[in-house]
Amino acid sequence: MSISSDMLFDTMKNNMLLILASTSKFKKRQLEQLEVDFKVEDSRVDEVILPNETPDNLSQRLSIEKAQALKFKYPNALIIGSDQVVACENKVLGKPLTEQRAIFNLNFMGDKCIDIYSGICVLNTEKSNQHVHVEKTSVKIRPLPLDLIKRYLRREPDALYCAGGIKSEGLGMILIENMYTRDPNAVIGLPMYFLVDALLKEGFRII
């Protein structure tokens, strides 16, 4: 019996394990939109900034390190490593984790332009193929009065675990005056257009 192209792609898909090297529930939700089976695994990479490291290089390096950290555990898999960096006036603003830090970050960014760097690395551990990309999103933040910041954080407590304290989906839209990006998904965490392209190049069938 001849093998159709559909059957061939199904075989390629089912033989390759897909790993999301992140415990971020936001990125997990993004990947779930593709309706594919995948496993979530913490890469446990220390997100430190190297001396004189630019925000885009930081995002790229950490994305690669997160994917590479799991390659020996999963020798026949596609591993997705990713990292997001928010920068304002050349200052990197990480995940605030506390309300006090979030208030400081948002107050600092108010009425300014910021850049969001969403890095991604798709690693085929069997073939050692690696697809790396950093999607830059330029955002103009509205003027943010202190009472607005506090109300936002009360309504969006998950913002404490987002880069810079900006959870762009949901109420996060009230912070943003305008935005320029080639991939609107990237501001959530994963540059989905690039991810889909990388998966298809590695023979992973999505639908």
Q: What is the pLDDT of residue 16?
A: 86
Residue 21 pLDDT level (bands cut at 50, 70, 90): very high
Across the range 5-17, mean pLDDT stands at 54
Read off the pLDDT of residues 42-95 as tens digits, 9 standing for 90 and up: 999 999 999 999 999 999 999 999 999 999 999 999 999 999 999 999 899 999
Q: Half-sphere exposure (CA, 13 Å, Cβ side) for 42?
A: 5
In terms of Cα–Cα distance, which of 60, 76, 28, 41 is closest to 132? 60
The region of weakest confidence among 48-57, 93-102, 160-169, 190-199 is 160-169
State both tokens at 83: 């990292």
What structural domains and CATH numbers belong to the chain?
Answer: 5-201 (3.90.950.10)
SS3 readout for 40-76: ECCCCCCCCCCCCCCHHHHHHHHHHHHHHCCCCCCCC
In single-letter form, the type of residue at position 180 comes to Y
Q: How far apart are CA 43 and CA 29, in angstroms?
A: 18
Q: What is the pLDDT of residue 57?
A: 97
Asked whether the predicted pLDDT for residue 118 surpasses 50, the reply is: yes
State both tokens at 155: 């309504």
**pTM flag (> 0.75):** yes
Q: Which of 10, 56, 83, 183 is catalytic?
A: 83
Asked whether the predicted pLDDT for residue 145 surpasses 90, the reply is: yes
- The H or E element that residue 82 is part of is strand 77-88
- Asked whether the beta carbons of 189 and 81 are under 8 A apart, the reply is no
Asked whether the predicted pLDDT for residue 127 surpasses 90, the reply is: yes
Asked whether the predicted pLDDT for residue 157 surpasses 80, the reply is: yes
Q: What is the pLDDT of residue 109?
A: 96
Q: What is the pLDDT of residue 12?
A: 47
Strand 91-93 relative to strand 129-141, pairing? unpaired
Cβ neighbours, 10 Å, residue 43:
21
Across the range 100-121, mean pLDDT stands at 97
Asked whether the predicted pLDDT for residue 15 surpasses 90, the reply is: no
Residue 9 pLDDT level (bands cut at 50, 70, 90): very low
- What mean pLDDT is reported for the chain? 92
Q: Where are the alpha helices (DSSP H) in 69-191?
A: 99-109, 146-155
* 83 tagged catalytic: yes
- How would you class 179 by CB atoms within 10 Å of its CB: exposed for 0-12, middle for 13-18, buried for 19 or more? middle
Residue 172 pLDDT level (bands cut at 50, 70, 90): confident
Residue 2 pLDDT level (bands cut at 50, 70, 90): very low
Q: What is the pLDDT of residue 139?
A: 96
Asked whether the predicted pLDDT for residue 4 surpasses 50, the reply is: no
